């Protein structure tokens, strides 16, 4: 649907780097020393938090990520740097401040419920020497990237001077700047491409109580004017994302069906927005993409990320309307190969053909093919390959129309086109569990059979074919004119 699987924009994340430390345990008694629970620790681990979670989301989408931030000279800072580097993140702009600890939030969880949080952090401004070092060197990466994300958690890195420098320099180079803002005063974000406040944050920043559509529009337009934004938007939780312009609002509705945990959803939204905008999408397409990514994430427990495979699967399994559901089945080869990574446990059935005029013979054949596995993928000859195979008068229906007709069948899971005369390269890439061909292939060579685990031949219903239909129509025309 979005066609972003092959994109890999360069994105800089500058912000407050954190570790989310989780401690899981059980409690069967109260301490004799004080009226508190005694936790028997069963497991614990570290996860990327704060701006690092934005980085994690971008890596999941296959962006090239650079990170700028500050850690302490401690074990947590060492772990964080190693973790980011192991993921392929460029940490050349990761600075160590010996005067502060690495921000680490420890959450104690008993019976799936958080009972305590312990924060190790400093909210003091970063050391002036480190600040100057960042400003001195940051222009190098700002020149290289397509987009900058400012992920502000109010931990002392993004003071007014540094934030203004990043935005002003980036804008002078026509770079996108997306900010996840913090606090009441948004003046330091002036000139950014867009901000991603939620409704409550927008109220605090504008002083406008949002209670209806008119007040929401007023707040959205106030943000755009006050911060001189190219795009003004407000995230609306279960209602989606509101985009504001000319005293009007356009709401991109949410895609979430089941919400297990909203932790990190804001990080997913700004990461997905930056990825889509950097890849050439307009703001409406980018918000659609961000909403689907967020829907994937809130369906998981804990800070999570969304991959392209998960986004494609989500669109396919939980469409907002029938037309969108049908269109979601028509995918590019690249999207299909991405999707197949998450379908390894499914039995994949593949067949192919021209399917020029869909008829009962096709329907019977495809239903039988679908019964042979879990997922039916139909390879569809494009228009040029059909002309080469069938003659210049064919196809009767265009590739798009033929694909829509196939996708409208319940038995068909995905439709993917190919331009070669045979689907050999497609079969080689898919490596289906079952390769299905028509009964007329008895005693004939089946193209691609060496790449499938099994070949099954299905007999057609006698007398039903596209050629017969075309001949019948032509005879009817002749009779009419005679």
Active site residues: 267
Q: Helix, strand, coil: what percent of the chain each, to 5? A: 40, 25, 35
d(CA 41, CA 47): 17
Angle (deg, nearest 10), helices 160-172 and 128-144: 20
Query: How far is CA 167 from each of CA 57, 163, 191, 194, 283, rounded to the nearest angstrom?
Result: 22, 6, 7, 11, 19
In angstroms, the Cα distances linking 59 to 13, 159, 268, 275, 278 are 11, 27, 11, 10, 14
Give the Cα separation of 81 and 89 in Å (integer).
9
- The string of DSSP codes covering 121-157 is ---SPPPHHHHHHHHHHHHHHHHH-SEEEEE--SSSS
Q: Residue 65 and residue 193: Cα distance in Å, rounded?
A: 19
CA–CA gap between residue 412 and residue 352 (Å, rounded): 12
Q: Which burial class, exposed, middle or buried, applies to 110 when counting CB atoms under 10 A from its CB (0-12, 13-18, 19+)?
A: middle
Asked if the peptide bond before residue 154 counts as cis, ω within 30 degrees of 0, the response is no
Cross-strand pairs, 93: 68
């Amino acid at each position: 649907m979005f066609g972003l699987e092959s994109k890999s924009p360069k994105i800089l994340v500058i912000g407050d780097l954190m570790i989310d430390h989780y401690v899981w345990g059980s409690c069967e008694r109260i301490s004799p020393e004080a009226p508190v629970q005694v936790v028997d620790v069963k497991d614990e681990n570290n996860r990327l938090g704060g701006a690092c979670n934005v980085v994690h989301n971008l890596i999941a989408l296959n962006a090239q990520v650079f990170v700028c931030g500050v850690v302490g000279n401690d074990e947590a800072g060492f772990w964080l740097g190693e973790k980011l580097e192991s993921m392929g993140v460029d940490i050349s702009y990761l600075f160590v401040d010996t005067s502060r600890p690495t921000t680490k939030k420890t959450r104690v969880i008993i019976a799936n419920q958080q009972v305590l949080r312990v924060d190790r952090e400093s909210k003091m401004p970063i050391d002036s020497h480190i600040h100057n070092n960042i400003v001195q060197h940051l222009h190098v990466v700002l020149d290289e990237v397509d987009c900058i994300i400012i992920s502000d958690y109010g931990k002392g890195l993004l003071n007014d001077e540094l934030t203004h420098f990043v935005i002003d320099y980036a804008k002078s180079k026509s770079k996108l700047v997306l900010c996840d803002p913090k606090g009441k005063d948004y003046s330091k974000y002036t000139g950014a491409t867009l901000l991603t406040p939620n409704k409550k944050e927008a109220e605090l920043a504008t002083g406008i109580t949002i209670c209806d559509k008119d007040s929401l529009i007023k707040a959205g337009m106030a943000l755009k004017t006050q911060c001189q934004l190219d795009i003004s938007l407000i995230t609306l939780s279960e209602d989606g994302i509101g985009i504001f312009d000319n005293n009007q609002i356009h709401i991109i509705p949410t895609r979430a069906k089941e919400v297990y945990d909203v932790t990190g959803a804001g990080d997913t939204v700004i990461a997905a927005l930056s990825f889509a905008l950097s890849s050439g999408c307009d703001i409406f397409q980018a918000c659609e993409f961000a909403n689907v990514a967020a829907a994937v994430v809130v369906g998981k427990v804990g800070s999570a990320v969304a991959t392209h495979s998960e986004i494609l699967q989500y669109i396919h399994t939980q469409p907002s309307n029938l037309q969108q559901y049908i269109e979601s089945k028509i995918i590019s080869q690249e999207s299909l190969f991405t999707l197949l990574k998450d379908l390894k446990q499914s039995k994949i059935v593949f067949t192919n053909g021209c399917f020029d005029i869909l008829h009962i013979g096709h329907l019977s054949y495809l239903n039988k093919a679908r019964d042979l596995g879990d997922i039916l993928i139909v390879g569809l000859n494009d228009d040029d390959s059909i002309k080469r195979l069938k003659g210049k008068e064919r196809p009767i229906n265009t590739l798009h129309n033929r694909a829509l007709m196939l996708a409208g069948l319940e038995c068909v899971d995905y439709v993917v086109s190919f331009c070669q005369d045979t689907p050999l390269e497609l079969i080689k890439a898919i490596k289906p569990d079952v390769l299905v061909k028509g009964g007329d292939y008895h005693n004939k060579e089946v193209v691609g059979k060496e790449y499938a685990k099994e070949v099954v031949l299905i007999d057609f219903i006698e007398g039903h074919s596209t050629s017969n239909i075309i001949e019948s129509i032509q005879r009817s025309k002749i009779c009419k004119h005679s």
